[in-house]
Amino acid sequence: MRSLISAATTIATAAAALLLQLPVRAADLPPALAQTENRIVPVAAWGGTPADPAKARKHTIKHITLHHQGEPFPEGKDPQLYLRKLQTWSRNTKHWLDIPYHYIIDLDGRIYEGRSIDYAGDTNTEYDPTGHALIEVVGNFEEVQPNQKQLDATADLMALLAMKYNVAPATIHGHKDYSAQTVCPGVNLYRYLENGYLRDQVTQRLQSSLSK
């Protein structure tokens, strides 16, 4: 009985936060979304280092925006080595605060923490990513198709972010929706935004989480 009461309280808190336009605390996440958060690989676990908060731009999440790597990512490539190299390049070559994306999804659907979600991202294009939760999926989706593990992980993560930061699935877009200078996230990944698949998957996950 106590566990049922606790579950009901968690769902009620999450639902109330959606209605009141308040962020949902991690402790109040429904179980399925909490599982997604728990499987995110933190920066320290892949060998990265934290950014200097004194150089960061704080922001409030209002959008969820999908990117691709834009380069081939062959089977067998080490995603953690890729992340360490991306962090070094971002800081030393681009002189950015950190990896430009908040989350990175590999070929196996593993989700990695990149830049702290508390800090606005960076981009090579003209749009201002302040207020955007940035998700990168590895690969060049002008050339290859996303696999189902990547699509499932993307939908899981987007649902988690939608719940935590109280942003509607309608705010989910691709990089190219904000910039005329890019084809990112690539035609083969963008079609899952264009046809409504990802927004529908996110909506289903949110509805399922709140109904249990």
pLDDT band (50, 70, 90) for residue 26: low
Instruction: State the pLDDT at residue 211.
Output: 75
In 3D, which of 93, 179, 89 has the Cα closest to residue 134? 179
| Percentage of residues of the chain with pLDDT beyond 90 | 83
- In whole angstroms, give the CA distance from residue 101 to residue 66: 10
166-204 pLDDT, tens digit per residue, is 999 999 999 999 999 999 999 999 999 999 999 999 999
Instruction: State the pLDDT at residue 23.
Output: 59
- In whole angstroms, give the CA distance from residue 92 to residue 107: 27
pLDDT band (50, 70, 90) for residue 209: confident
Average pLDDT rounded to a whole number, residues 51-76: 96
- Provide the b/e sequence for 25-38 (b: ≥16 CB within 10 Å): eeebbbebbbebbe
Alpha-helical runs (H) found in the chain: 2-20, 31-38, 79-92, 148-165, 187-194, 197-211
Instruction: State the pLDDT at residue 27.
Output: 61
88: amino acid identity, one letter: T
The mean predicted confidence, pLDDT, of the chain is 90
Q: Could you give the dihedral angle defined by the CA atoms of residues 69, 73, 77 and 80, in that order, rounded to the nearest 10 degrees?
A: 10
Average pLDDT rounded to a whole number, residues 77-81: 98
Instruction: State the pLDDT at residue 171.
Output: 96
Task: Specify the CATH class of 2-211 in words.
Answer: alpha beta
Instruction: State the pLDDT at residue 17.
Output: 45
pLDDT band (50, 70, 90) for residue 135: very high
Confidence (pTM)? 0.88
In 3D, which of 130, 136, 139 has the Cα closest to residue 153? 136
Domain assignments of the chain as residue spans, ordered by start: 2-211
80-116 pLDDT, tens digit per residue, is 999 999 999 999 999 999 999 999 999 999 999 999 9
Higher pLDDT: 161 or 24? It is 161
- In whole angstroms, give the CA distance from residue 93 to residue 123: 13
